[in-house]
Chain A
Amino acid sequence: MIQLGLFYIAATITIASSLLAITRHNASHALIYLIVSLLGSAIVFYVLGAPFAAVLEVLIYAGAIMVLFVFVIMMLNLGAAGVKNEQQWLKPRTWVIPSLLCLALLAEIIYLLSSSNQALSGVVIGPKAVGIELFGPYVLAVEIASMLLLAGLVGAYHLGRRYLIDMRGESI
């Protein structure tokens, strides 16, 4: 019963803060709401019996990726001019088609959820079980993801290196 209450509170906060994240004109405020929404979804994961996914949500999404987002926002130093720009770009007219598309998806999800009889079992899946699955049947996906990251790393190194040589005034 308490779990159900926790779930509904966390889910409501997640949805509300996601909506706020989309509609805020000030980029830094939008980011804060996005962080809150990620934390909310972490609690939803935890209540549904996936503590490992929950803590990864906090550690990786809220704790690392969003920090980089805030980092970029700080570098851009948007301020009042940025808010004005956002207000010009986000006219009410812009919302119509995305909202309609989202409504269609929402209807599909509700239909799918109500037609299937499978309720979530609420079985707790610990970190060990996740690890065994990841490096057992899904090892190919892990390897592909690591190759993707390696490609990103090499690309970032390349960009950074060229910049450094330019700064020293040498030819590339």
Chain B
Amino acid sequence: MEELTIFLVIYGTLLGAFAVAAVLVWFERRLLGFWQDRLGPNRVGPFGIGLALADVIKLLAKEDWIPPFADRLVFILAPTAVVITMLLGFAVVPYTEHLFIADLNIGLLFFLGMTSLAVYSVLLGGLGSHNKYALLGGLRAAAQMVSYEVFMGLSLMGVVMITGSFSLVDIVNTQAENGWFVISQFFGFIVFLVAGIAESHRLPFDLPEAEHELIAGFHTEYSGMKFGLFMLGEYLSLILISSMITTIFFGGWLGPSFLPDAVLDFVPHIFWFFAKTGTCICFFILLRAAIPRPRYDQLMSFGWKILLPLTLVNLLITGAVLLWL
């Protein structure tokens, strides 16, 4: 029984992540259209939802072309890295207190490790294409993601200090007692949010592929399903970051405590998890619609001069409170 549940959770996660990523392609454009006061894609099927399917078919049917000047091994390897690591990252996400694939005692570090390995996709894509725009995109990606990884890890350490464990199930259980970490670790949350966008290199931090200066950056030479994998990886990392924000800062499967107990008992825990993750994804899409892309040096100095001191002060205060209060 136990093994069967785990198998079901694994396949459910796999299929669910792919399905949500495919639907997000449509959903994102639809929301962007709504926020920018235009229609967005609304032709295929009811509300245009058939666009998700049409997009997948288009990507699969397109010619998959490898440029003759590219480094074949690196070129083919690059798009797989982001999809594999992001899917592996889902292994530590607890959907409810009983429903997860693995509750590792290094869960949080495992997630950080997987996001840091996802950099290779962008990096090798830029390196293997032998194209100057791709190379510039890859260089930017390397610098951006390595720097923001630092703040991402440090911003979570306050949470780890309060919990006393890297296990994500323990982190949520601590929030059941102490209240959600978004309140007690507000600065950690802000830094993690910004670093999360930078790590998944989505707008406004999509400088590795900034189309107004680098054509399409690291995936300039990619077409067909290889490009599709890059896009899939981006949406997967969006979902993963959102579910991590939900788990670490918004109490995972816990319902809001101001609701009456009758409601909390009635609503299944998994609903809260998916509702919060969905809200978070919508917020990321809203950020894309609302904020313009910064210049590259602005991005780097914002990281090192504002976010890094902020996380260090946050750590210092959290440590002092834990020691003396």
Q: Using a CB–CB distance below 8 Å, which chain A residues touch chain B?
A: 26, 28-29, 32, 35, 51-52, 54-56, 58-59, 62-64, 67-68, 70-71, 73-75, 77, 79, 126-128
Contact = CB atoms under 8 A, between A and B. Distances in A.
A73 B71 CA distance: 14
Interface string B104-122: 1110011011001101100
A54 B113 CA distance: 10
Contacts of B142: 67-68, 70-71, 74
5 contacts: A28-B128, A29-B71, A59-B116, A126-B106, A128-B165
A55 B117 contact: no
A74 B135 contact: yes
A55 B128 contact: no
Given A55-B109, A127-B105, A128-B165, 8 more contacts: A28-B127, A51-B104, A58-B113, A62-B116, A70-B142, A71-B123, A74-B135, A74-B138
A58 B109 CA distance: 9
Given A70-B142, A127-B109, A63 B126 contact: no
Contact of B126 (A35, A56, A74, A79): A74
A35 B120 contact: yes
B286 to A, nearest CB: 30
Interface of B: 71, 73-74, 77, 104-106, 109-110, 112-113, 116-117, 119-120, 123-124, 126-128, 130, 135, 138-139, 142-143, 145-146, 149, 153, 164-166
Binding site secondary structure of chain B: helix
A29 B110 contact: no
A67 B106 contact: no
Contacts of A35: 120
Name, among B117, B138, B143, the residue most crowded by chain A CB atoms within 10 Å (CB to CB): B117
Contacts of A54: 106
A49 to B, nearest CB: 12
A63 B149 contact: yes
- Ranked 5 nearest A-B pairs via Cβ: A63-B116, A58-B113, A55-B109, A59-B113, A71-B142
A80 B38 CA distance: 50
Contacts of A55: 106, 109-110, 113
B312 to A, nearest CB: 14
Contacts of A29: 71, 73-74
Contacts, number: 82
Contact of A127 (B74, B106, B112, B120): B106
A55 B123 CA distance: 21
A77 B135 contact: yes
Nearest to B143: A71
A134 to B, nearest CB: 15
A78 B257 CA distance: 59
A55 B88 CA distance: 13
Contacts of B128: 28
A59 B109 CA distance: 8
B113 A68 contact: no
A70 B123 contact: yes
A111 B275 CA distance: 60
A124 to B, nearest CB: 8
Contact of A58 (B117, B139, B146, B153): B117
Contacts of A73: 127
A64 B116 contact: yes
Contacts of A68: 142, 146
Contacts of B106: 51-52, 54-55, 126-127
B130 A79 contact: yes
A70 B214 CA distance: 20
B198 to A, nearest CB: 14
Contact of B71 (A28, A63, A128): A28
B124 A63 contact: no
Contacts of A63: 113, 116-117, 119, 149
B91 to A, nearest CB: 13
Given A64-B146, A67-B123, A71-B139, A32 B77 contact: yes
Contacts of B104: 51
B77 A64 contact: no
Nearest to A126: B105
